[in-house]
Structure 1
Amino acid sequence: MKSVYKIAFIALAGVAVSSCFNKKQPNYQYMPQMYESVGYETYSESDAFARGGVEAQLPPKGTVKRGFEVYEYENSTAGYELAKANLKSPLDSLAYDEEKAKDLYVIYCGICHGDKGDGKGQLVKNEKYLGVPSYKDRPITEGSVFHVQTYGLNAMGSYANQLSTKERWMVAKYVMKLKAE
């Protein structure tokens, strides 16, 4: 009799387990998104935003990034000439740190312009760039140096992303010191 109960129990357990299985529809899953994620195409349009575009990712009109300082001279020859004639450093003698300015100059400028500003940096010596001018040969001012650091000129790119406004002014003052020596 006990064996009949055992056989009946095993049969009932087998029926109970197999009755929940359906090949057309899988069993319930807790949080099915974790098992079967939706694949999105990179950079494709999405209906995640109400208007179907990227408007929600754009900053509101009239806003300015935190820490952004407005630079009033345009990126043109006329803007360069205006900066050369009118732009003066806002740093006073206490804000200017010559050691830091020298370090920044060596890191960012010395590779092309040379540590002494003579246009004989390591890249010029290795003939990677040619025609880098000496500061002594050029009619430059602090304003023109700052303008070139901000926008770049000819083969020189902008350093506005690498150096803050204060650091660019410090480097410009250091360049004028090299020019005077």
Structure 2
Amino acid sequence: MIKMKNILKITIALAFLMSLSSCWGDKTKPNYQYMPDMYKSVGYDTYGQNPNYANGMTSQLPVDGTIARGQVPYDYPNTNEGYDTAKLESKNPLDVNEVNLSNGKKMYDIYCISCHGKAGAGDGVLVQRDKFLGVPNYKDREITEGSIHYVIMHGRNMMGSHASQLTADERWQVTMYVQQLRTELLK
């Protein structure tokens, strides 16, 4: 029984000494590295040279013809000609129904009402406070569903694009709601 306790004490003392001995030694000599690229990885600048790609650049463009997840291609360029073409040709793919109009109103109240006003008369709170001047009244403009959607997509004059805030369906729903407001203003 006494021998067993001595062996246990000796084992613990040796383990302790071995763990302490690992703290001393030649630190100039590195340990073995089984995957050196993981120990000393190369950082490439975002727009710098990179030998790992065929074109030699770190920043890669998306493959031609690809579309980012959640995005829908828009066929009209951000030009005056693109606006005119969209005004004539672009049609709302969504059905006019209560669900789409309700969500269009919801999005309009979030993104548009502060400038265009509750009824679309160009008298929103920012206009009343003289933050923006010349916000158009929907009844004074020759607008179509294509031109409304185009302006939401690309922006026009002082209005910026809202494409990043609204999904493709939400843009068409707001378009639908703006058309409803315009119809009410024209009465």
Question: What's the counterpart of residue 159 of structure 1?
Answer: 162
1:64 maps to 2:67 = yes
- Name the SS for the 2:74 alignment partner: coil
Quote the offset at 1:173 in angstroms: 1.2
Partners in 2 of 1:140 and 1:69 — Cα distance?
A: 23
After superposition, what is the alpha-carbon deviation per residue over 1:85-109, rounded to whole angstroms, capped at 9, x for unaligned? Answer: 2222111134852221111001011
Match of 2:9 in 1: none
1:125/1:69 CA distance change after superposition, 3 Å: same
Contact 2:86 2:147 in 1 (8 A): yes
In the alignment, which of 108, 112, 116 is matched to residue 113 of structure 1?
116
**Cα distance in structure 1, aligned partners of 2:88 and 2:67:** 28
**Residue pairs, 1:65-80, within 5 angstroms:** 65-80=68-83
Aligned to 1:137: 140
Corresponding letter in the other structure for 1:110: I
- Which residue identity lines up with residue 77 of structure 2 in the other structure? E
What is the CA distance between 1:80 and its match in structure 2? 1.2
Superposition CA RMSD, Å? 3.3
**Matching of residue 128 in structure 1 with residue 159 in structure 2:** no
Residues 1-181 of structure 1: matches in 2 within 5 Å? 21-22=25-26, 25=28, 28=31, 43=46, 45=48, 47=50, 49-51=52-54, 52-54=56-58, 57-94=60-97, 96-181=99-184
TM-score (norm 1): 0.73
* C-alpha distance 29-127 of structure 1, shift in aligned 2 (>3 A): farther
Q: Contact conserved, 1:96 with 1:170, CA < 8 A, in 2?
A: no
Give the direction of change, closer, same or farther, for the CA distance of 1:26–1:128 in structure 2 (3 Å limit): farther
Q: Aligned to 1:97, what secondary structure does the other structure show?
A: helix
Give the distance between the partners of 1:54 and 1:117, measured in 2 at CA.
48
Specify every segment of 5 or more residues in structure 1 that has no aligned partner in the other structure, as ranges: 1-12
Over 3 Å counting, the alpha-carbon distance change for 1:66 and 1:22 in structure 2 is closer
Count of residue pairs brought into register by the alignment: 162
Q: Counterpart of 1:10?
A: none
Q: Give 1:121 shift.
A: 0.9
Among all aligned residue pairs of Structure 1 and Structure 2, give the percentage whose two residues are the same amino acid: 40
- Tell me how far 1:142 sits from its aligned partner: 1.1
Q: In structure 1, what is the Cα distance between the partners aligned to 2:65 and 2:52?
A: 22
- Please say if residues 71 and 168 of structure 2, whose CA atoms lie closer than 8 Å, have aligned partners that are also in contact: no
Question: Matches of 1:103 and 1:73 in 2, distance apart?
Answer: 26
Whole-angstrom distance in 2 between the partners of 1:47 and 1:141: 49
